[in-house]
Amino acid sequence: MSLRGVVGDATSRPWPCSATPGPERRGSNCNRRSRPARPLATPAGAKCKYIGAACECLEAATAVTLRGTQTRSHGMQSITFRSGPYTLAGNLHLPGNFTESRKYPAIVAVHPAGGVKEQVARLYASKLALEGFVALTYDASFQGESSGEPRYIEDPSARVEDILAAVDHLTTLPFVQSEHLGVLGICAGGGYAINAAMMDSRLKAVGGVSAVNIGASVRLGWAGTTSPAQALGLRDAGSTRRTAEHRGEDIAYMPLAPASPDPPGAQ
């Protein structure tokens, strides 16, 4: 990920600057399960009425093979849509027996920091499609098959805007119930999902799977032991890099996660 600075709190207003990546760590900000959100209307009496990490049918998604989901659901459509100046590459996961003459509730599935739409977000989207939802996954700005430079930057303000742009796109689809929209985020995507739902009343339900407060994650570090002085040092390093890169120096990158998954002091 590109080194660009220190971010704000994941439950506050959008961050004004680009950000250093927030890793999927095992510290105090991970694995706090969200409470069931407000139920969305589901076709054909689908069993899954809530989105959120506590929902059993969503957690079962990790046990569903991609091959199995594609044989049981209608399928997947590759799409593109705009998020500000960027073009995002996405996939629409459609329910079984899909027909454009019907209208379906829809959910945006947001991938973690360092992820792409074909990974864990696809697992959850495939499961949601089996439950009767239209589910949209996409690569964040600067990442995967989406546009944006420098590559691989994890920009929280852009990540939140991407979610709102995904909602914009869903409202243009004739087979989507615009009054029944939700968002489900995984890890860092969970923090972004909550922020987006705070800003946009079109989102009627929000869920997080091992949701991470990206601001606290960066400030506290992988093991939760980063001091305020060290966090300020990261901010200063990001500021210095912005100046250097503007003057033509190469983009500086930093690891998304430490070499060891369990550094000293990790929970």
Task: Kindly list the structural domains of the chain, giving each domain's residue range(s) and its CATH number in brackets, ordered by start.
Answer: 43-246 (3.40.50.1820)
DSSP H helical segments within the chain, as ranges?
56-59, 66-72, 120-130, 156-171, 188-199, 214-220, 228-246
Q: Which two tokens stand for residue 255?
A: 């690891």
Q: Which two tokens stand for residue 51?
A: 């989105």
Q: Higher confidence at residue 243 or residue 59?
A: 243
Q: Higher confidence at residue 163 or residue 235?
A: 163
User: How far is 112 from 218, CA to CA, in rounded Å?
Assistant: 14
Average pLDDT over residues 133-162: 96
Mean pLDDT estimate for the chain: 77
DSSP 1: -
Q: Which two tokens stand for residue 181?
A: 């929209």
What per-residue confidence (pLDDT) applies to 261? 66
User: How far is 176 from 226, CA to CA, in rounded Å?
Assistant: 45
Average pLDDT over residues 255-266: 66
pLDDT in tens, 78-133: 999 999 999 999 999 999 889 999 999 999 999 999 999 999 999 999 999 999 99
Q: How confident is the model at residue 254 (pLDDT cuts 50, 70, 90)?
A: confident
pLDDT in tens, 39-66: 444 343 333 333 333 333 333 333 333 3
Secondary structure of residue 92 in the 3-state scheme: strand
Place of tokens 């799977």: 209
Q: Which two tokens stand for residue 15?
A: 């961050």
Strand partners, 110: 185
Whether 197 shows a pLDDT value over 50: the answer reads yes
Lowest mean pLDDT among 23-37, 63-77, 248-262: 23-37
Nearest residue to 216 (alpha-carbon basis) of 141, 152, 156, 140: 156
What per-residue confidence (pLDDT) applies to 262? 65
DSSP line for 135-196:
EEEEPPTTSTTS--SSTT---HHHHHHHHHHHHHHHHT-TTEEEEEEEEEEETHHHHHHHHH
Question: pTM for this one?
Answer: 0.72
